[in-house]
Amino acid sequence: MKNIILSFAALFCGFFLAQAQPGGGMGGFQRPVVECDFDPYVPAPAGFDAERPGIPHGTIETVEYKSTTVGTVRKATVYLPPKFDADKKYPVFYLLHGIGGDELEWLRGGAPNVILDNLIADGKAAEMIVIMPNGRAQENDRAEGNVYAGSAAFANFEFDLIKDLIPFVEGKYNVYTDKMHRAIAGLSMGGGQSLNFGLGHMDLFAYVGGFSSAPNTNTPEVLIPDVAKTKAENKLLWMVCGSEDNLMYNSSRLKAFCDGRGVPCTLIEYPGGMHDFVVWKYGLYNFAQLIFNQ
């Protein structure tokens, strides 16, 4: 396993060190979009990500958990829904950040608490707990220095998530512990992680999403080695990527693979969308409405 992680690190770091630059795509990293059937784009309503007065609001807290995977105490940001009741059971949504972020990235740019508050107030989303962890599973998990050099830690987060974080969440909060009440999605690097970990552990996650998923995304054949099993066990595979984002290849090749094999899969091409929170907030807005309702 260590060799696999090291190989992943070398490959991914090579991709990004050579290609990443500021801007809407991932710099010059371009691979052709794989021909596929995009799903219809429906704009989100104006104000979907704006705080609204007169509705109940959820709360944000920071938790610390012991990671046997890393050997340290690690932090995660938690959204508790409006009128949170410790005696009530809740589903859990794990929401992952990108390569340059940490457990606070979604709060800094994505307004997840605002989006969820509005959806829950309108009856469009289930009441849920959202866990925003640090997906960089290494001793120094801060997004500092050359963030691409630590890419192996993003692969290692699979073990931290499954062995340490999920058990911690289930011990601290009154949550359901079955796959039908557990979802995972993320942006960029976190989108790749979500597809890799979610489809790789369909016994744990019924709902999987990728927003502008990065090159750490496994190939479709690795993500879905057993088509019949995926059809039977996965309840939602949902993706979005901007039309101007040079990382569309990663999502479009998975959509084409699924289309060719009859695996239910959604991919929305966000018109004019870049590699930014405009697309990712749209992704969260839509994905949150589709989970925990089947």
pLDDT tens figures, 11-53: 444 344 333 333 344 444 568 899 999 999 999 999 999 999 9
The predicted pLDDT at position 31 comes to 83
pTM of the full structure? 0.91
The predicted pLDDT at position 294 comes to 59
Q: Residue 87, by phi and psi: left (phi above 0), alpha (psi -120 to 50) or beta?
A: alpha
Strand partners, 73: 66
Strand partners, 187: 211
The predicted pLDDT at position 38 comes to 98
Amino acid at the residue 85: D
The tokens for 238 are 């949902």
CA distances, 267 to each of 209, 211, 283 (Å): 10, 9, 10
The predicted pLDDT at position 116 comes to 98
Topology of the domain comprising 2-290: Rossmann fold (3.40.50)
The predicted pLDDT at position 11 comes to 40
Could you say which DSSP state residue 186 is in? E
- What are 114-138's pLDDT values in tens digits? 999 999 999 999 999 999 999 999 9
The predicted pLDDT at position 293 comes to 83
The predicted pLDDT at position 149 comes to 75
Complete DSSP assignment for 274-289: -SSHHHHHHHHHHHHH
Spell out, as residue ranges, where the chain has pLDDT lower than 50: 1-28
CA distances, 149 to each of 10, 94, 102 (Å): 8, 24, 15
Could you say which DSSP state residue 210 is in? E
- Residue 230 near residue 261 (C-beta atoms within 8 A): no
- Residue 130 near residue 93 (C-beta atoms within 8 A): yes
Q: What are the structural domain ranges in the chain?
A: 2-290
CA distances, 76 to each of 67, 141, 223, 228, 287 (Å): 12, 12, 26, 35, 21
Neighbours of 250 (CB within 10 A): 26
Residue the block writes with tokens 């920071």? 62
